[in-house]
Amino acid sequence: MENQVNLKGAERAATHTSRMSKERIENAVKQLNEISESDYEKVLGLANVCKPFRSVLHKTPDDYGMTQWEDVFLHGIDGVPLDGWYIPAKGGESNKLVIFNHALPMCRSGFQGHFGLPFSGYDNVEIDFVIQMKHLTDAGYNVLAYDIRNHGKSGASNNGVSGIGQLEWRDCAGVKTYVDNHPRLSKMKVALYSQCMGGNSQYEAISRRPELFENVACMVSPMVVSMRAIYEAFSELQGVSKYLDLVDFELMKMGGWLMDEMTPHTAAPDVKMPVFMIQVKDDAWTKNPEDGQKTFDLLGSKEKEIHWIENTPLRFKDGYNYFGRHPEKVLAFLDKYMS
């Protein structure tokens, strides 16, 4: 089994480190020489999405009366230090654990767009993940939440460049290894709540280290996205859609991954556990419903369902806050597979 896993990892690495074709690089260099200064700033802004600033912990479990929590200190399988919280279920520790992964450029507490710049440069809204942890603990689940590398209070890696899963899967694998080696957590039934970059990362971890996740009961998978869908949507909004080769060129120059490498589609067939996916149907920042539906269709899960958030184009305000406002469907899904 170990030889098979290592071989598969090598094969995936060979695929994921292939770079731009000679023709695309030549086109990117030509675009770089011809582009206006204002449009080039937009292209750089698009590429720099993958080098995010750090969100801050603007809330803790104390804000919602979860007083028995503790700080935990973990690490990715490559040794990058990760800061997190362990929050026991209301009324005392239960036998059910949810591992909670956040999105980019957020952290375990959420996002502080209401604080002003630099946060409001993405969107001037608050995203509250701590209330979502409150819903989980009230329903009888222990929660392990942590900051992915280059986010929140966790360690730095890759010069601060995110792989939208291609690097961060190491954190998902490291946290699950921590759980498996823990004297109490290892005896608990485990579910995953893995959203956007955290979801892409989780898919990659499951694909690359399947033995770690064979005992996971189910996964809630909000807002997973392909970076090509993000870049196509944003470049159209900013009027620079003809410069996607240049965006990839800038990503490569900063030491990142190309947009087609940063996708959940490659690993989705290896995800076999029950999955509940959540997507904003008319998301103005992606190419939904096409991208989300493709990811859903590619999942290897026999038991899977998708919930489309309708009547809004707002990814940050209405997508990431969905569980906080409407916990019923998520809790019903978890209860079905965790009881």
Between CA 256 and CA 279 the distance in angstroms is 26
Q: How far is CA 72 from the centre of its chain?
A: 20
Residue 81 forms beta bridges with which residues? 75
CB atoms within 10 A of CB 157: 21
pTM: 0.93
| Tens digits of residue pLDDT in 29-81 | 999 999 999 999 999 999 999 998 899 999 999 999 999 999 999 999 999 99
| Tens digits of residue pLDDT in 193-238 | 999 999 999 999 999 999 999 999 999 999 999 999 999 999 999 9
Q: What percent of the chain has pLDDT over 90?
A: 93
| Tens digits of residue pLDDT in 130-168 | 999 999 999 999 999 999 999 999 999 999 999 999 999
Q: What is the mean pLDDT of the chain?
A: 94
Residues found in the chain:
339
Residue in 101, 334, 138 with CA at minimum distance from that of residue 223: 101
Do residues 170 and 80 make contact, with C-beta atoms less than 8 angstroms apart? yes
pLDDT band at 4 (very low <50, low <70, confident <90, very high): very low
Report the pLDDT averaged over residues 279-297: 97
At residue 1, the pLDDT reads 39
At residue 52, the pLDDT reads 87
At residue 12, the pLDDT reads 45
Backbone angles phi, psi at 331, to 5 degrees: -65, -35
